[in-house]
Amino acid sequence: MTPPKKRQVARSPEDLAAKRDQILDAAMACLHDKGFARSTMSDVAKTASIGRGTVYWHFPSKDDLFLAVVQRETDKVTSELEPLLAMPMPAADKLELMISGTFHMYADVPHLFKAFLSILTGAGEELEQKLEAQLADIYRQYNQVIEDLLEEGKREGTVRPELDSPITGASIVVLLDALFLQIHFGLIDNDPPRLAAAVGDFVKRGCLVCPPSSTDAHRGTP
């Protein structure tokens, strides 16, 4: 006698999203442990304690899976950018908060940078192009947020009016990137408060309008 077929249970969007996150968590763990080139879909399935077919159902290829890993992790960062602009505080304070938040984010996920490098160094041409486009979009968002904050500061009278906001914004992002590299290679300590204070002071001195000193005030300097 032929056994009855198992009924397919319809999964809710929440269940599917949870399963997808489970797979992405496993893929990130594989990246950390084995790197992109040595990680397989079977490795991901084993780490997630699910069947390989389930992994392929959510992600048709290894490239799709690891692109999704990058997208999810970077979305966590960029999702906090827009609310920052709407906060009821001076632009200079928002910029300082953004710098501090970026260093604290990196402290929480130090393996993320290693994962990106692993994918870039092991990717084929097509995946490399997709990943570069993805990362370029993230940089574009970061640059735009900082540029908007600088322009907001100009309107408030706290940022130097002659400042080239697009170039200055991109320079601040480059500075953050360079420090992340220094941390990654063990050249400086991963100390978010110290890093945020140093970079914040650097940005303030270069971008903000300097108030008159007490000496100038006594001399009657306008």
13-60 fold:
Arc Repressor Mutant, subunit A (1.10.10)
Residues of the chain with CATH 1.10.357.10: 64-208
Tens digit of pLDDT at every position of the chain (222 positions): 444 444 444 478 778 889 999 999 999 899 888 888 899 999 999 999 999 999 999 999 999 999 999 888 778 777 777 777 778 899 999 999 889 888 887 776 656 677 777 887 887 888 888 888 888 888 898 899 999 999 999 999 999 999 999 999 999 999 998 998 888 888 999 898 999 999 999 999 999 986 544 434 444 444
Q: Return d(Cα 218, Cα 36) in angstroms, integer.
A: 64
Q: Return d(Cα 46, Cα 26) in angstroms, integer.
A: 8
Burial of 172 by CB count in 10 Å (0-12 exposed, 13-18 middle, 19+ buried)? buried
Q: Write down the pTM of the prediction.
A: 0.76
Q: What is the maximum span of the chain, computed from C-alpha positions, in angstroms?
A: 104
Q: Contact 27/69 with Cβ under 8 angstroms?
A: yes
64-208 fold:
Tetracycline Repressor; domain 2 (1.10.357)
Residues of the chain with CATH 1.10.10.60: 13-60
